[in-house]
Structure 1
Amino acid sequence: MITELGHFALVLGFAIAIVQMVIPLVGAHKGWRGWMAMADPAATSQVILVGFSFLALTYAFVVSDFSLRLVFLNSHTDKPMIYKITGVWGNHEGSMLLWLLILVLFGACATWFGQGLRPEFRARVLAVQAAVSVAFYAFILFTSNPFLRLAVPPLNGQDLNPLLQDPGLAFHPPFLYLGYVGLSMSFSFAVAALMEGRVDAAWGRWVRPWTLAAWVFLTIGIGLGSWWAYYELGWGGFWFWDPVENASFMPWLFAAALLHSAIVVEKREALKSWTILLAIMAFGFSLLGTFIVRSGLLTSVHAFANDPERGVWILIILAIFMGGALTLFAARANAMRASGVFQSVSRESALVLNNILLAVSSFVVFVGTIWPLVAEMFLDRTLSVGPPFFDAAFTPFFVAICLVLPVGAMLAWKRGSLAKAARPLWPAALLAVALAGLAYALQTSRSSLGPIGVLLGVWVVAGSLVDLWSRTGRGDLAGRIRRLGRLPRGDWGKMVSHAGLGITVLAIAGHLAWQEEDIRVAREGESYAVGAYEVTLVGVREVQGPNYISTMADITMSRDGRRVATLNPEKRYYPVADMPTTEAGIRNGFWRDLYVVIGDPQTGGGWAVRTHIKPFSNWIWGGSILMALGGLISLSDRRLRVGAGAGRTARREPSDGVPAE
């Protein structure tokens, strides 16, 4: 009964979304306040209805209602409760329902926190957001209904994919969806602005918090996915340029570009057309990522679905919204003339360069991701584009971003001076060069990757600190320290995010350049050396898990005769799913990780064992955490908070009601 009510709530939400898509838009065009006001209760009603539908599906998973086809395919009575709950979105249909829930929640947030917007503009934003919702309601109800029943309920289910029965990947999809779907708000603001033919500083102020929130969620989601790949897949890496990884990375790059471009719109009323285009492209690449994950056209180790027919539906949604938005953009481009001018050496120019580098690097990732499909369809060739291409094609653009970032942040608005901006950065540059030279002198290999990574990472981190310190003005040290504590949170958030980027760059370069690896067949009781460590395979035993059987190794690692770690790598077998997984044994450390994987037993005796010494591993995710934390700090700044300044603007411009700089 509850599942039927959940299905009915979804259908009712679909009908309300259609009303929200049409009525407020007509009201905004005609100036009818009552019709425009209908968007508010419609948006709130959708959250309630879709939320109830999602809870009904969750209830079916918790009680193991195998009369529901989705529960039968993705659950089992022996599965731990946490994975019964996360199994709700560990499949195509449930994950799309979560996607829709987040989509209508963002629309409702625009209602709840958007009272400072002009009624006509808010009505258009909510109508566009409802149009996106209508498309995904239809997609779920007509192609991916999570409430389909089985005529004869089985006694038990087929279990969830064992790779998804892990805390890291359990919470990785929701954060990604919050990022993907959050960009729909930027898209809705862009299309609404195109409908009105008006983009100003107020628009830039309003679009920034939505984009920043989406970027923060994407950062957390990508970090969780990277962390999961590192310890779960057993390949010893954190990033493999997998199509699904690329699907989240491309909108992350566009969202970063949009964030910086919106600053120029807000501060200088320039780059209007470019910022609108970025908002459209950011959400477009989110939809493209959804297509890649669910179409089955590109192979991935963690794609949700393998159904080209569903992929065609998503491709149609992508074509409708991107085609419509770009057509509207072409028609209204002349109405978005920039009123602010700036010199070629200025903060605005640096942000333009930042935008170009981020956008081009995203297109490089797109080309590498989609090229195997293009080659197969049009050239009748089977190709594989792997890490060597991405490393060679993507890295130069990101190196340029790191080099430009500290100097660009120090330039003045409108008209700047490179000499004046670079003068405070000399200590940061000297520190970066000195530490890079030290790294080159200490390393055993002659690779330049590690020292270059140290150079770029320290340059970005130190540059961000210098930028923050420069905002305290002149005067005695005590006075500047006091002013440092009174700086806006947005300045602190910017520093923390940029520092997180620098730490991540340094960590990735050091991780790749200085890691050590040993692959061998080891017998129980045998010891061998890897770097400065002595590794001993003490024994291998079978362990019974809650819903799996584990082959677990006991491996000790010693240094200078002193045991530093006992690791327990596993190979798990899930009988219901008939699928094995790998659980690496990891000893985390501040400077390095000890990483061991147990393989299959060998014909001549012994076990395949892979041992890694991985420097700076935790710095990679530490940098990601800092980037997300910086975004959250900036969101807490009242200047960037949704609705901030509405009252002031209402007093200054009674007919507008939009916050302005």
Structure 2
Amino acid sequence: MTPEIGHFALALAFALALIQSVLPVMGANRGKLLWMQSARATSIGQLVLVAVAFAALMRSFIISDFTVVNVASNSHSLKPMLYKIAGTWGSHEGSLLLWVLILTIFGAAVSVFGSNIPDSLKARTLAVQAWISSGFLSFMLLTSNPFDRVFPPPANGNDLNPLLQDFGLALHPPFLYLGYVGFSIVFSFAVAALLEGRVDAAWARWVRPWTLAAWIFLTAGIVLGSWWAYYELGWGGWWFWDPVENVSFMPWLLGTALLHSAIVTEKRDAFKSWTILLAILTFSLSLLGTFVVRSGLLTSVHAFAVDPERGLYILFLLALSIGGSLALYAWRAPMMEAGGVFKPISREAGLLVNNLILGAATGSVLFGTLYPLFLEAVTGEKISVGPPFFNSTFIPMMLPLVFFMGVGPYLSWKRADLPGVLQRVKFVALASIVATLVLWYLQEGGPLLAHLSVLLAIWLLLATLREWAMRIRLFDVPFPDALRRARNLPRASYGMTLAHAGLAVLMLGLIGSSAWKVEEVVFVSPGTTIEIAGFEVRFDGVERVRGPNYFADRGTLYVTKGGEAVTTLFPERRFYPIAESSTTESAIRSTIVGDLYTSIAEPASDDAELSGAWTLRILYEPFVNFIWLGAVIMITGGGLSLSDRRLRVGAPKRKPVLPAITNPAE
């Protein structure tokens, strides 16, 4: 009976979404307050009903109700409880239900917490949000019902993909979707502003917290996915420019540009058209990602293998959302008033350069991701666009961005004093060069691009810290006064400092683990010793162990350095009999300066001499943990900014629109 309750709740939610998509916007057009305020009740009602449906599906997974097709296909009675729960969103239908649940959460949050938003703008925003939820609820009800039944049910189910049975990946989809779908409310604000014909500083202030929240969640989701790929897949990498990785990265890039553009709109009443366009394009890329992973175009552990007919439905929703919003933008954007005037050397100009670089970088990733798919669709020819293309196009664009990020906070609004800025950063530049030369000496050379990247990462870190020190006048006033100024700094100021510093730390991790990584892949038998990065690793053999729903061959690696014991590592090769598939479980010795990373596999050879041998992969990855540390610092910075009271309740009052005076005597 529980699945039927969930299905009925989805149908009722769809009915409420249809009402919400029409009644509030009609009320806004006709000035009927009651109609506009109906959006609050319908958005909360949608959330409650979709939450009931989601709870019904989760209960079906928890009790292993294999009469539900979704549960039978993605769970097993022996699976640990955590992964039974995670199986709720581990399939196409379940993840789509999570998508809609988050969509309704953001809609209800605006209706409840947006008390300072004008009724007309809120009504239009929630109506647009309902248009989106109507599309996806209809998609579920017509083509992807998560509550379809099967009779007779299988005895134990077919199990979830073993690669997905991991704590990191259990958290990855919810955070990623909170980011993806979080940009939907920003999109709704943008379309509502176009419908209303008004974008101003107050609108930008209302939009910024929602943009920042989506950016924080998307950052966390991407990092969790990268961390999972690093320790779970056994290849020792954290990013492969996989198309499905790229479709989550592109909204993050444009979302970052949107976040900075909204600041200019709020502070200087400029970039209004550009901010609206970024809001539309950012969510459009989120929708594109949804289409790519559900259309059957890709074969990936990240993608949902579904029939192309479902992909056509999503393509229709994609064309309707993107095409309609861009058509509205083309009609309304030229009517927007020009913003504040600024000089070529100013903070506005710096943020404009930031936006242009991020936009170009997004375009390069989009081209490299979609070109092979279009080529195969048109000609049938299959090509691969991999890391060499992205590294040669994306990285050179990012390096100038890092430089401007270091300079930007020193620039003043409207017009900046360039000689004064150079005077403030000259010691930062000198210290960055010295630190890079020291690293060059310690590493005995290395790739030139890597050292240039290190130079810019150190530059960004030191420039960011220097700017913070100037704000509190750390070396200009007595320390107690500087401490008092530090306590009085707004949280958003600390958020910017931490976000920029976190990116610098993350860059050091990316560079170190890529440019100076050491790797050995060898065949080993018990007693074999390998030397790598100053460590001695002895392979002591493999034993068979049993898990809750798998068997594993567990290797034992005894690690020493300079004759002294360091640690013992236990990499595994697991076999899941229900799913009839295997996974690699790496064993890692982690320190802040680097990871010793190990994994084992059976040798891909029938050579009799290799009987009883194993393939052992060992890597030493310097500073790889700086990636996760930098990401945590960035997310913390975003959270601090979001907690700033000015962003939550301090939106400025809108100036009244005065009627045009046609007769001077009046």
Give, in whole Å, the separation in 2 of the partners of 1:565 and 1:221. Answer: 31
Of residues 185-194 and 519-528 in structure 1, the stretch that sits farther from structure 2 once superposed is 519-528
Q: Which of 650, 659, 662 matches 1:645?
A: 650
Partner deviation per Cα, 1:407-433 (whole Å, 9 max, x = no partner): 112101001122212222222212211
Q: Are positions 1:336 and 2:340 aligned together?
A: no
TM alignment of 1:463-478, pairs within 5 A: 463-472=463-472, 475-478=476-479
Q: Distance in 1 between matches of 2:420 and 2:291?
A: 47
* 1:511 corresponds to 2:502: no
Amino acid across the alignment from 1:501: L
What is the rounded CA distance, in whole Å, between the counterparts of 1:612 and 1:349 in structure 2?
A: 44
Question: Could you tell me the percent identity over the aligned residues?
Answer: 51
Cα separation, 1, equivalents of 2:566 and 2:448: 31
Cα 1:510/1:527, change in 2 over 3 Å = same
Contact 2:272 2:339 in 1 (8 A): no
Q: Tell me how far 1:199 sits from its aligned partner.
A: 0.4
Match of 2:571 among 560, 569, 572: 569
Distance 1:22 1:284 in 2: 22
How far, CA to CA, are the matches of 2:335 and 2:627 in structure 1? Answer: 44
Q: 1:659 aligns to what?
A: none
1:255 and 1:305 mapped to 2: Cα distance?
28
TM-score for both structures, normalised by structure 2: 0.96
Q: How does 1:501-580 map to 2 (within 5 A)?
A: 501-580=503-582
What amino acid is the match of 1:649? K
The range that moved more, 252-261 or 445-454, is 445-454
Given that residues 600 and 615 in structure 2 are in contact (C-alpha distance below 8 angstroms), is that contact kept between their aligned partners in structure 1?
A: yes
The C-alpha deviation readout for 1:560-585, integer Å capped at 9, x for no partner, is 00121211111100000001001111
SS state at 1:555 partner:
strand
1:196 is aligned to 196
Aligned residue identity for 1:331? W
Matches within 5 A, 1:341-380: 341-380=341-380
Alpha-carbon distance in structure 2 between the residues aligned to 1:311 and 1:480: 58
Q: CA deviation at 1:314?
A: 1.3
Q: 5 Å matches for 1:346-495? A: 346-472=346-472, 475-478=476-479, 479-495=481-497
Alpha carbons of structure 1 residues 38 and 533: separation in structure 2 relative to 1, 3 Å? same
Q: Out of 465-474 and 145-154, give the one that drifted further.
A: 465-474
Task: State the one-letter code of the partner of 2:401.
Answer: I
Q: Which residue matches 2:585?
A: 583
Q: Which amino acid counterpart does residue 632 of structure 1 have in structure 2?
A: G
Q: Could you tell me how far 1:306 is from its partner in structure 2? A: 3.7
Q: Which range is displaced more, 370-379 or 580-589? A: 370-379
Quick one: distance in 1 between partners of 2:591 and 2:136?
Answer: 44
Find the aligned partners of 1:381 and 1:147 in 2 and give their Cα distance: 39
Q: What are the within-5 Å matches in structure 2 for residues 94-113 of structure 1?
A: 94-113=94-113
| Residue 192 of structure 1, CA deviation | 0.3
Q: Does 1:619 align with 2:626?
A: yes
Shift in Å, 1:377: 2.5
**One-letter amino acid of the structure 1 residue matched with residue 615 of structure 2:** A
- Name the residue aligned to 1:598: 600
Aligned 8 A contact 2:74 2:158 in 1: yes
Segments of 4+ moved more than 3 angstroms: 652-655
Conservation of the 8 A alpha-carbon contact between 2:399 and 2:453: no
User: Are 1:209 and 1:635, in contact at CA under 8 Å, matched by a contact in 2?
Assistant: yes
Q: How does 1:23-34 map to 2 (within 5 A)?
A: 23-34=23-34
CA pair 654-326 structure 1, distance change in 2 beyond 3 A: closer
| 1:537-565 deviation line (CA, Å, top 9, x unaligned) | 01111110100000110011111001212
SS at structure 1 position matched to 2:653: helix
User: 2:62 and 2:639 mapped to 1: Cα distance?
Assistant: 33
The CA deviation at 1:178 is 0.1
The corresponding residue for 1:245 is 245
Q: What is the deviation of 1:110?
A: 0.5
3-state SS of the aligned residue for 1:342? coil
Q: Distance in 2 between matches of 1:305 and 1:33?
A: 46
Q: Counterparts of 2:208 and 2:231 in 1: how far apart (Å)?
A: 35
SS of aligned partner of 2:187 = helix
Whether the aligned pair in 1 keeps the contact of 2:92 and 2:306 (CA below 8 Å) is: no
For 2:250 and 2:526, locate their aligned partners in 1 and report how far apart those are by CA, in whole Å. 46
Does 2:158 match 1:151?
Answer: no
Counterpart residue number, 2:663: none
C-alpha deviations, 1:246-275, integer Å up to 9, x for none?
A: 011000000000000000000011111111
SS at 1:582's partner residue? Answer: strand
The secondary structure found in structure 2 opposite 1:573 is strand
Secondary structure, aligned partner of 2:88 = coil
Which amino acid is the alignment partner of residue 81 of structure 1?
M
**Cα contact 1:72–1:156 (8 A) shared by 2:** yes
Quote the Cα distance in structure 2 between the aligned partners of 1:534 and 1:578: 35
Q: Which amino acid aligns with 1:527?
A: T
Q: CA deviation at 1:280?
A: 0.1
Task: Give 5+ residue unaligned stretches, structure 2.
Answer: 659-666
Q: Which runs of 5+ in 1 are unaligned?
A: 656-661
Residue 202 of structure 2 contacts residue 653 of structure 2 at CA under 8 Å; is this kept in 1? no
Structure 1 residue 505: Cα displacement: 1.0
Structure 1 residue 445: Cα displacement = 4.8
- 1:144-173 deviations in Å (ceiling 9; x for gaps): 100001121221100001011000111100
Confirm or deny: 8 A CA contact 2:299 2:305 kept in the other structure.
no
Q: Which residue of 1 aligns with 2:181?
A: 181
Q: TM-score, normalised by structure 1?
A: 0.97
Q: 1:340 Cα deviation (Å)? A: 0.9
* 1:267-282 map, 5 Å: 267-282=267-282
Distance in 2 separating the partners of 1:181 and 1:30:
30
The letter of the residue matching 1:211 is T
Mapped pair 1:314 → 2:314: yes
Q: Distance in 1 between matches of 2:218 and 2:446?
A: 36
The Cα offsets for residues 388-418 of structure 1, whole Å up to 9 and x where unpaired, read as 0000000011111101111112101001122
Partner of 2:636: 629
Q: C-alpha displacement at 1:654, in angstroms?
A: 12
**2:540 maps to amino acid:** V
User: For the residues of structure 1 that align with 2:444 and 2:178, how far apart are their CA atoms?
Assistant: 44
- Aligned partners of 1:531 and 1:120: how far apart in 2? 64
- Please tell me the residue identity of whatever aligns with 1:619: F
Q: Secondary structure of 2:573's partner?
A: strand
- Between the aligned partners of 1:261 and 1:628, the Cα distance in structure 2 is 19
Cα shift readout 1:18-40 (whole Å, capped 9, x = no counterpart): 00000001110111111111101
Match of 1:658 in 2: none
Aligned to 2:664: none
Could you tell me which residue of structure 2 aligns to residue 283 of structure 1? 283
1:636 partner amino acid: S
Aligned partner letter, 1:424:
R
SS of alignment partner, residue 385 of structure 1? coil
| 2:616 maps to which of 592, 609, 616 | 609
Q: Matched residue of 1:229: which SS?
A: helix
Q: Which residue of 1 aligns with 2:222?
A: 222
SS in 1 for 2:337: coil
Are 1:450 and 1:514, in contact at CA under 8 Å, matched by a contact in 2? no
* Aligned residue number for residue 211 of structure 1: 211
For residues 639 and 149 of structure 1, what CA distance do their matches in structure 2 show?
50
Q: Distance in 2 between matches of 1:349 and 1:144?
A: 47
Contact 1:243/1:299, CA 8 A, preserved across alignment: no
